[in-house]
Structure 1
C-alpha cells in the first residue's frame, strides 16, 4: 500500500507555492479539521511513519498534540506556517 500513496514533502509544497502563486492553505483546503494517528499524519505531511512519529514525540510538528494517548493533528495550523505575508 505504501507504493500507492504519493508523498509530497513540506519543502516541495512550499516551492510549489512560490512557483504557482497559490497559497498552501488553498492547496490543503480539502484537508480534515483534525487528523488522528501518526500514520495518517505522515501521509498528510509527506513523511515516513517512523520519521513523523519521532517528530511528534520531539514536539516538532506545529498543530500536533496527544489526546487521550493518541496523536491529533490540525493540518491548517501546520501549513499556515508556510504562508507568506501579503
Structure 2
C-alpha cells in the first residue's frame, strides 16, 4: 500500500475538510470570507498544515450547529 493510499484512508476516517473551497462550501461562505474566518481564529479546530487549511467536519458542525444531513 502506498503512502498516498494511507493518507487518503486516514483523511476519510478523520473526515477532514481541506482548503478554502471545501471548508467554505460547508459553511456556505466564499473563499475570501472563509479565509478571513480562518485567519482570525473564528473556526475552532482549524489548522494550517503545509500552507493549506484543514478542519474536522465535526468541528464545523459543533460551531454552526449543523446536522449530518448538511454534509
TM-score bucket (shorter structure): 0.5 to 0.7
1:49 aligns with 2:54: no
Matches within 5 A, 1:22-37: 33-37=15-19
Aligned residues: 52
Shift of 1:72: 0.6
Q: Secondary structure at the match of 1:44?
A: helix
RMSD, aligned CA: 1.8
Q: Which SS does the other structure have where 2:53 is aligned?
A: strand
In the TM superposition, residue 49 of structure 1 has moved relative to its aligned partner by 1.2
Q: Provide runs of 4+ in structure 1 moved above 6 Å.
A: none
Tell me, which stretches of 5 or more residues in structure 1 are unaligned? Answer: 1-31
Gaps of 5+ in 2: 1-13, 67-71
3-state SS of 2:24 partner: helix
Q: TM-score, normalised by structure 1?
A: 0.53
Give the match for residue 43 of structure 2: 61
SS in 1 for 2:23: helix
Using structure 2 for the length normalisation, give the TM-score: 0.63
Distance 1:51 1:74 in 2: 18
More helix by share: 2
